[in-house]
Structure 1
């Protein structure tokens, strides 16, 4: 009889494996046990526990009951529809129509936005969803994509500066360059703005991980964002971005996201529109962005 050992070259898995004080005969049983522990370990750290997922859209009622959306914040209903999956699959997807010249939810068919709280507020939450840009999509100067929020609604750039609240939305920039925009009324510590991948802007949101990935048109992307709130009075918050559902693309720690323990991660801020302050920054063409399979999980929390 001898003790099973993990193969060399993966120290992290060796540590996990050695904590299980099991002795087996060398050979097949050892290999099977090691593989089982490997699967369990990685499923725990990458999959997490699914807390909520969206329902498939039907007609124009894409935000059905389980979203629990705040209807007072719902803008852009005319842009919303349920359409056949552009990849030819036999299911419908959430489609947002973005008309030529549209920007910033300033006119009809310029996108959509609402706040959704399908779960009890939490200290940490992961949002996962799939997004696809129509083949003719022109990324122009940039735009907004769904993310997480907390501390109440209307806390995006230009919102109520007197509130203790935050939003952390995915964004795209020229050429489809991806990242996130964190807006918070809390003050950051010295040095945060010097962190690699951070572009600070108190008025319009701190850009995080800009250029860490890039969108292409005509392709479904699974994107994932985790927000872990800081301890009030400390700079120990955390934002992580991943693409494709596997692996870290960008993360930043030592973030101040809230000032009060009453602020939690409330849910999803659905945003989809071109940014900017004039039609020059709007969509160059009539086009669509497509969304499906929204999930809230506890990954990395």
Structure 2
């Protein structure tokens, strides 16, 4: 009987010692950031950080979801197709076609001709910011006739960004590119200082040639409200071709850069801008970062 009592005492002391050690170990562990849910349960607090960069090479069939394409103000999806890159430089490209005699939707409806190109706004899953850097590649088809000009993607913020709707400093801006006659390039910006339509910035600073790839990089830094100290910088194949630091984008710091204004078409507001034959532009490897 005395032997059994001794065994029970030893076992009990070991149990007490083990519990004490576990308690000490638990008190030395890292603290857990937690909060109490509406139901009274303790839950770990989510630790998330807003993304500082974004990129896409059209690898996924549902690429529009990654771009966070808005449902409004988009058109021309029938002219956009992701294909294997026939040049072999990239895995996949977004090919945008411009049928013969095609122009913008407004002119097409009026004149009974095809709509060429396409357009959409993309938020990219990034928070609005005061500065962004956009990068992408493009190639005009070998038979591309630049005619009088057309639009190419850029950045945007707010709602008044195109179509002759001049922003007032609080409600929008955009920094698309344009090709002009003979392939001359420019930034085509909608600003509160614009007159009737967009502002042509440094036209002819570079020149596109059909059939070859170009790397476009555009950096936009918004001005301090009320001051003309906003910046637009542009590089083509690594060479800086535009450097403007006197731009007025806004009169309030509530207006931010929101994402990509993917916009490309011939025009122009009449048939004199229309493409004389079927042509296309291939786009590849889009990315956005915060400088």
TM-score by length of structure 1 reads 0.73
Q: Is the 8 A contact 2:165 2:196 kept in 1?
A: no
Cα deviation, residue 113, structure 1:
0.4
Q: What's the offset of the Cα at 1:86?
A: 3.0
Other-structure match for 1:83: 83
In structure 1, the residue matched to 2:42 is none
Any conservation in 2 of the 1:82–1:95 contact (CA below 8 Å)? yes
- Choose from 263, 269, 275 the match for 1:271: 263
Q: Does 1:214 align with 2:220?
A: no
Q: Distance in 2 between matches of 1:95 and 1:224?
A: 19
Instruction: Say whether residues 1:290 and 2:282 are aligned partners.
Output: yes
Aligned to 1:69: 69
* Alignment partner of 1:149 is 2:142: no
Q: Which of structures 1 and 2 has the bigger CA Rg?
A: 2
Quote the Cα distance in structure 2 between the aligned partners of 1:221 and 1:147.
Answer: 15
Instruction: Please report the RMSD computed on the Cα atoms of aligned residues, expressed in angstroms.
Output: 1.9
* Cα-to-partner distance string for 1:233-269 (whole Å, 9 max, x where unaligned): 111111111101x232111112111111110011100
Match of 1:112 in 2: 118
Partner residue of 2:146?
A: 139
Distance 1:148 1:276 in 2: 20
Q: Distance in 2 between matches of 1:254 and 1:92?
A: 38
Question: In structure 1, what is the Cα distance between the partners aligned to 2:105 and 2:240?
Answer: 32
User: Aligned in 2, Cα 1:161/1:88: closer, same or farther, shift over 3 Å?
Assistant: closer
Q: Which moved more, 1:203-212 or 1:130-139?
A: 203-212
Per the alignment, in what secondary structure is the counterpart of residue 179 of structure 1? strand
Change (3 A) 1:237 1:160: closer
CA distance in 2, matches of 1:57, 1:109: 27
1:157 Cα shift? 3.5
Report the Cα offset of residue 154 of structure 1. Answer: 4.5
Flag structure 1 segments of 5+ consecutive residues without an equivalent: 1-48, 188-200
| TM-score, length of structure 2 as denominator length | 0.75
What per-residue deviation string (whole Å, max 9, x for no partner) do you get for residues 202-221 of structure 1? 11111112111010111110
Deviations 1:52-82 (A, max 9, x none): 00142456x5x43210111112111111111
Counterparts of residues 1-301 of structure 1 (less than 5 Å): 51-58=53-60, 61=62, 63-89=63-89, 91-106=91-106, 107=108, 108-118=114-124, 119-151=126-158, 153-159=159-165, 161=167, 164-184=171-191, 186-187=192-193, 201-244=194-237, 246-299=238-291
- The verdict on how the C-alpha distance between 1:94 and 1:57 changes in structure 2, with shifts beyond 3 A counting, is farther
Conserved in 2, the CA contact under 8 Å of 1:78 and 1:109? no
Instruction: Measure, in 2, the Cα distance between the counterparts of 1:65 and 1:134.
Output: 28
Structure 2 stretches lacking a partner, 5+ long: 1-50, 109-113
CA contact (8 A) 1:55 1:66 kept: no
Partner residue, 2:24: none
Superposed CA deviations along residues 116-140 of structure 1, whole A, max 9, x for unmatched, are 1111000000100001101111000
Matches of 1:298 and 1:64 in 2, distance apart? 21
Moved more, 156-165 or 135-144: 156-165
Q: Is contact 1:117-1:267 (8 Å) kept?
A: yes
1:50, CA displacement in angstroms?
A: 6.8
Q: 1:160 to 1:57 in 2, by over 3 A?
A: farther
C-alpha separation in 2, matches of 1:242 and 1:69: 26
Rounded Cα–Cα distance in structure 1 between residues aligned with 2:86 and 2:210: 12
